[in-house]
């Protein structure tokens, strides 16, 4: 054949955009960006974990990252996201938008947006699984529940990209008079977009919170259907579906090996709370972790609920005389499942106990044997976990503030049991430094104290037994009640003050780190408090301020030693706690204290 020479080059203005050649390259670029971001995050946390193990937490957090850490803790009201999370989300969405729009004529050919939607599927599933490799590499305190915000926003990123792709495609078909539904590619594409719309609508927070079981079922079935329809829609989909299936398969495999069916006992505390004790589960978990529990009763075996373990392992716990050694969980009666569980426990308990005996035991607030002697119902449960846990080792801090709202006390109570047990019962065998603990609990009525009265009494007595040792542990318990209901129900918890007021976390924390001689005396009429070690009638007045006298029951140890804050409860309380720590870390007082670290647990859907 004759050599015809080099083929002519088509000028750029006359070249036709080939989305099937260029879009996969942008998929690869997008994947490289998010993988690099995850890798940098892991490398960022790695030295922090190593230095913490080498007892250098103070230098690392106080000198290098103190101010940066304070800024990323700031939480924006209404968003329930701190500044660090907002930076991650903005960076992610900006990457999605750039990869979707750069050098792409979306109005004429919107395929790039569809390709970028597919490229986000691995991100969605990587941060959705409970046994995520990212969570493992980031270390304690970064469980799936902490990383779930990435899953939610990556899902929204898929929806945005798919909506751009589908909207422009439908508009072009309407403009040129082409049928929207008919051929397989068009029909499956519309179906896939419709499924994403269903997922997005049912994933909205109001729907998720009000109809969680409905959300969960729809979420699962819709994504399975989406995978099928999108594979019919384009041959470019399967390579991006295999990684999500691998992540999900690995998660299910690990969960399968962690599933355990155990005998458990239900102990009702009134009609508002139920204690679940699972004996013989004495190791493999730490205080502050949670499990997903299925209780086999009334045909509800398919319902799984996350519940926090509110005691330390028996080898550490101070509560072995209060609860049967093992995993102990608490369930507040708020929904259908929890109310039905409480009803089962109450009904069985009434059959086991004479009314006179029941009345006697419910009225005996002084007994630490309450949960051992109360009527118990035998039942079978399935455990999945444990998951999560506290990212702070409280034993490395001289001062600890544990702040809980409502049922969030299950987390802080477990952490309190753990640190008191390590310092007193085990004699600080691992070099624990903790000397002062302020345990604060905000509740709606006095009657809620019955939930954990026996546990708090026993822990307070254990802490008080260390007073004559060379390294005593000082514990003060503050209970803040927001409603004057049933004030006669206050149990005699040692070194505990019960006050009617809405507490301010910033004031409590600031008071805890301020020398006593720097505190102004409170006005006489500011707040009348009731100490549960006294026996006179309660005389309480409402107040929005803070009475510093409660924290004066803890000895002042001077500056340094660092401060740990663990907060759990509703999102508003977590926002307040995070902002309080951020303010303190930016202040001179925070630096003088040797650093202030925080771990939060949000109790919501």
Q: Please tell me the predicted confidence (pLDDT) of residue 169.
A: 92
pLDDT digits over 539-573, tens only?
344 444 445 454 567 888 777 788 999 999 998 89
Kindly list the distances between the CA atom of residue 183 and the CA atoms of 196, 232, 427, 432, 438, in Å, as whole numbers in the listed order.
20, 11, 74, 69, 67
pLDDT digits over 183-200, tens only?
888 999 999 999 999 999
- Among candidate residues 293, 317, 359, the one with its CA nearest the CA of residue 455: 317
Q: Is 45 exposed, middle or buried (0-12, 13-18, 19+ CB in 10 A)?
A: middle
Bigger pLDDT: 417 vs 42: 417
DSSP 556: P
Kindly list the distances between the CA atom of residue 375 and the CA atoms of 326, 381, 519, in Å, as whole numbers in the listed order.
18, 18, 48
Mean pLDDT over 332-360 rounds to: 72
Q: Please tell me the predicted confidence (pLDDT) of residue 556.
A: 81
Q: Please tell me the predicted confidence (pLDDT) of residue 12.
A: 59
At 446, the pLDDT band (50, 70, 90 cuts) reads confident
What percent of the chain lies above the pLDDT cut of 90? 45
Q: Please give the model's pTM, rounded to 2 decimal places.
A: 0.85
Q: Is the pLDDT of residue 7 over 80?
A: no
Q: Please tell me the predicted confidence (pLDDT) of residue 19.
A: 77
pLDDT digits over 353-392, tens only?
554 454 444 444 444 444 555 678 899 999 998 998 898 8
Q: Please tell me the predicted confidence (pLDDT) of residue 534.
A: 40
pLDDT digits over 458-483, tens only?
999 999 998 888 889 999 999 999 87
| Cα–Cα distance, 369 to 374 (Å, whole number) | 8
Bigger pLDDT: 50 vs 163: 163
Mean pLDDT over 489-508 rounds to: 85
pLDDT digits over 269-325, tens only?
888 889 999 998 888 899 999 999 999 988 788 888 999 999 999 999 999 888 888
Kindly list the distances between the CA atom of residue 513 and the CA atoms of 404, 472, 558, 592, 593, in Å, as whole numbers in the listed order.
19, 19, 9, 10, 7
Q: Please tell me the predicted confidence (pLDDT) of residue 276.
A: 94
Structure tokens at 387: 């998951």
Q: Please tell me the predicted confidence (pLDDT) of residue 100.
A: 94
Q: Please tell me the predicted confidence (pLDDT) of residue 47.
A: 63
pLDDT digits over 396-439, tens only?
999 999 999 988 999 999 999 999 999 999 999 988 999 999 99
Q: Is the pLDDT of residue 520 over 70?
A: no
| Cα–Cα distance, 597 to 582 (Å, whole number) | 9
Q: Please tell me the predicted confidence (pLDDT) of residue 77.
A: 77
Q: Is the pLDDT of residue 250 over 90?
A: yes
Query: Checking phi first, is residue 177 left (phi over 0); if not, alpha (psi -120 to 50) or beta?
Result: left
At 29, the pLDDT band (50, 70, 90 cuts) reads very high
At 65, the pLDDT band (50, 70, 90 cuts) reads low
Using the structure block, give the residue that is written with the tokens 């802490």: 463
| Cα–Cα distance, 415 to 411 (Å, whole number) | 6
pLDDT digits over 128-181, tens only?
998 888 988 887 778 888 899 999 999 999 999 999 999 999 998 888 877 777
Q: Is the pLDDT of residue 122 over 90?
A: yes
Mean pLDDT over 582-591 rounds to: 85
Strand partners, 480: 442, 499
Kindly list the distances between the CA atom of residue 447 and the CA atoms of 266, 270, 434, in Å, as whole numbers in the listed order.
20, 10, 31
pLDDT digits over 71-101, tens only?
888 888 777 788 999 999 999 999 999 999 9
| Cα–Cα distance, 277 to 327 (Å, whole number) | 6
Q: Is the pLDDT of residue 235 over 90?
A: yes
Mean pLDDT over 579-592 rounds to: 86
Q: Is the pLDDT of residue 58 over 50?
A: no
| Cα–Cα distance, 328 to 343 (Å, whole number) | 19
Kindly list the distances between the CA atom of residue 42 and the CA atoms of 49, 246, 542, in Å, as whole numbers in the listed order.
10, 21, 47
Q: Please tell me the CATH code under which domain 394-602 is placed.
A: 3.40.50.80
Q: Please tell me the predicted confidence (pLDDT) of residue 61.
A: 46
Q: Please tell me the predicted confidence (pLDDT) of residue 34.
A: 96
Bigger pLDDT: 257 vs 243: 243
Structure tokens at 224: 């399975």
Mean pLDDT over 339-355 rounds to: 73
At 525, the pLDDT band (50, 70, 90 cuts) reads very low
Bigger pLDDT: 365 vs 14: 14
Mean pLDDT, all residues of the chain? 83
Structure tokens at 383: 């455990």
The answer to whether the peptide bond before residue 234 is cis (omega within 30 degrees of 0) is: no
């Amino acid at each position: 054949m004759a050599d015809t020479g080099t083929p002519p080059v088509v000028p750029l203005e006359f070249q036709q955009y080939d989305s099937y050649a260029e879009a996969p390259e942008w998929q690869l670029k997008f994947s490289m960006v998010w993988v690099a971001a995850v890798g940098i995050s892991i490398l960022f946390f790695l030295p922090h974990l190593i230095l913490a193990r080498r007892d250098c937490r103070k230098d690392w957090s106080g000198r290098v990252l103190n101010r940066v850490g304070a800024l990323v803790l700031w939480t924006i009201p209404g968003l329930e996201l701190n500044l660090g999370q907002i930076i991650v989300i903005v960076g992610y969405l900006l990457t999605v938008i750039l990869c979707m729009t750069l050098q792409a004529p979306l109005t004429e050919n919107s395929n790039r947006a569809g390709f970028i939607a597919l490229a986000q599927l691995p991100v969605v599933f990587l941060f959705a699984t409970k046994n995520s490799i990212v969570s493992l590499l980031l270390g304690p305190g970064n469980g799936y529940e902490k990383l779930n915000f990435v899953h939610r926003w990556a899902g929204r990123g898929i929806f945005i990209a798919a909506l751009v792709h589908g909207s422009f495609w439908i508009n072009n078909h309407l403009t040129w008079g082409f049928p929207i539904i008919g051929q397989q590619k068009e029909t499956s594409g519309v179906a896939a977009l419709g499924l994403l719309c269903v997922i997005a609508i049912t994933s909205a927070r109001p729907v998720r919170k009000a109809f969680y079981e409905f959300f969960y079922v729809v979420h699962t079935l819709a994504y399975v259907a989406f995978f099928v329809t999108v594979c019919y829609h384009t041959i470019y989909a399967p390579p991006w579906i295999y990684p999500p299936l691998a992540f999900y398969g690995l998660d299910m495999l690990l969960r399968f090996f962690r599933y355990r069916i155990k005998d458990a006992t239900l102990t009702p505390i009134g009609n508002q709370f139920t204690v679940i004790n699972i004996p013989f589960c004495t190791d493999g978990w730490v205080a502050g972790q949670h499990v997903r529990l299925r209780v086999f009763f009334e045909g509800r075996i398919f319902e799984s609920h996350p519940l926090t373990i509110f005691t330390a392992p028996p080898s550490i716990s101070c509560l072995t005389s209060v609860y049967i050694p093992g995993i102990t969980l608490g369930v507040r009666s708020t929904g259908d499942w929890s109310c039905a569980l409480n009803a089962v426990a109450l009904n069985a308990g009434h059959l086991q106990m004479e009314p006179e005996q029941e009345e006697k035991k419910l009225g005996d607030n002084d007994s630490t044997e309450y949960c051992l002697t109360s009527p118990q119902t035998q039942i079978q449960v399935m455990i999945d976990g444990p998951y999560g846990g506290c990212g702070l080792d409280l034993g490395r801090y001289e001062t600890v503030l544990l702040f809980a709202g409502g049922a969030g006390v299950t987390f802080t109570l477990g952490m309190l049991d753990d640190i008191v047990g390590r310092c007193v019962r085990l004699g600080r065998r691992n070099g624990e430094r903790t000397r002062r603990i302020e345990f604060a609990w905000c509740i709606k009525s006095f009657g809620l104290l019955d939930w954990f009265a026996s546990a708090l009494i026993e822990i307070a007595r254990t802490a008080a037994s260390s007073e004559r040792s060379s390294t005593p542990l000082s514990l003060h318990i503050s209970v803040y009640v927001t409603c004057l209901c049933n004030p006669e129900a206050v149990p005699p918890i040692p070194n505990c003050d019960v006050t009617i007021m809405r507490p301010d976390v910033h004031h409590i924390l600031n008071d805890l780190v301020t020398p006593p001689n720097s505190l102004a005396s409170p006005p006489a009429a500011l707040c009348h408090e009731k100490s549960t070690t006294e026996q006179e009638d309660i005389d309480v007045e409402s107040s929005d301020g803070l009475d510093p006298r409660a924290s004066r029951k803890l000895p002042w140890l001077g500056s340094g030693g660092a401060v740990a804050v663990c907060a759990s409860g509703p999102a508003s309380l977590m926002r307040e706690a995070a902002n309080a720590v951020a303010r303190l870390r930016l202040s001179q007082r925070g630096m003088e204290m040797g650093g202030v670290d925080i771990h939060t647990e949000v109790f919501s859907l």
